[in-house]
Chains A and B, each alone.
Chain A
Amino acid sequence: ILNVEQSPQSLHVQEGDSTNFTCSFPSSNFYALHWYRWETAKSPEALFVMTLNGDEKKKGRISATLNTKEGYSYLYIKGSQPEDSATYLCALRSVYNQGGKLIFGQGTELSVKP
């Protein structure tokens, strides 16, 4: 069974702080990496899809980088706001199962205090 690890499990920051968290995966299995944001009582929402080594994607104050050789992706939030409070999930699509299933990490729960 493939293992996708996220760290830290939870993070508490003040409004205005910048923060980052990590998603690690087996590099030999990499096909694509997906990031989702999951707010309480809502559906997980797609943030980024990362496919190429060295990829950097940006959406407003949130950005992500990818290193497929060493098997990790970083998600950065610049100047965190209370509305950024959510669980951030990463999910691996394996090269051996390109046809569907995503394998999820346990998520990083971010809480931003005003």
Chain B
Amino acid sequence: EADIYQTPRYLVIGTGKKITLECSQTMGHDKMYWYQQDPGMELHLIHYSYGVNSTEKGDLSSESTVSRIRTEHFPLTLESARPSHTSQYLCASSLTGTGPNDGYTFGSGTRLTVV
């Protein structure tokens, strides 16, 4: 039973469309993260949040934006999708992130293709 939900699992969309990738968690975790992974490459952090109304850009520059209005919800939006946005997007959360043992719980990912 998943504690962190991502929708959709797969999305094929045309260039110029606005899209929102949903991520919700039921564990009450403070910290949430969005990672992007291109084929054969490592997961790159693109956005993170330490709590409600807190969002920060990650290590990899991204044209996407995020919001954190509620603890459980951390959607990612692309205002105008382009083929260069084709990738896998993975959402994760952690309880506090302050201890060495505090790892991530992951969603199942969204595989986005922009045509």
Cα–Cα distance between A44 and B80 once the two chains are bound (Å):
29
Given contacts A99-B98, A100-B50, A9 and B43 within 8 Å (CB-CB): no
Chain A: minimal CB distance from B56 (Å) = 10
Report B94-115 residues with CB < 8 Å from chain A CB: 94, 97-98, 100-101, 103-109
Instruction: Verify A106–B48 contact, CB threshold 8 A.
Output: no
Q: Is the interface of B mostly helix, strand, loop or mixed?
A: loop
Number of interface residues of B (CB under 8 A): 27
Instruction: Verify B42–A44 contact, CB threshold 8 A.
Output: no
Instruction: Verify B42–A104 contact, CB threshold 8 A.
Output: yes
Instruction: Verify A100–B108 contact, CB threshold 8 A.
Output: no
Cα–Cα distance between A88 and B103 once the two chains are bound (Å):
15
Instruction: Verify A43–B108 contact, CB threshold 8 A.
Output: yes
User: Which listed residue (B45, B97, B100, B103) contacts A46, Cβ 8 A?
Assistant: B103
Chain A: minimal CB distance from B25 (Å) = 12
Cα–Cα distance between A67 and B6 once the two chains are bound (Å):
35
Residue B12 lies at the interface, judged by CB distance under 8 Å to chain A: no
Residue A29 lies at the interface, judged by CB distance under 8 Å to chain B: no
A-chain residues with CB within 8 Å of residue B100 when the two chains form the complex: 31-32, 49, 51, 93, 98
Cα–Cα distance between A46 and B94 once the two chains are bound (Å):
12
Mask for A60-101, Cβ within 8 A of B = 1, else 0?
A: 000000000000000000000000000001010100001111
B-chain residues with CB within 8 Å of residue A13 when the two chains form the complex: none
A-chain residues with CB within 8 Å of residue B43 when the two chains form the complex: 89, 104
Mask for A23-59, Cβ within 8 A of B = 1, else 0?
A: 0000000011010100001111110010100000000
Residues of chain A having any CB pair with chain B under 8 Å: 1, 4, 9, 31-32, 34, 36, 41-46, 49, 51, 89, 91, 93, 98-107
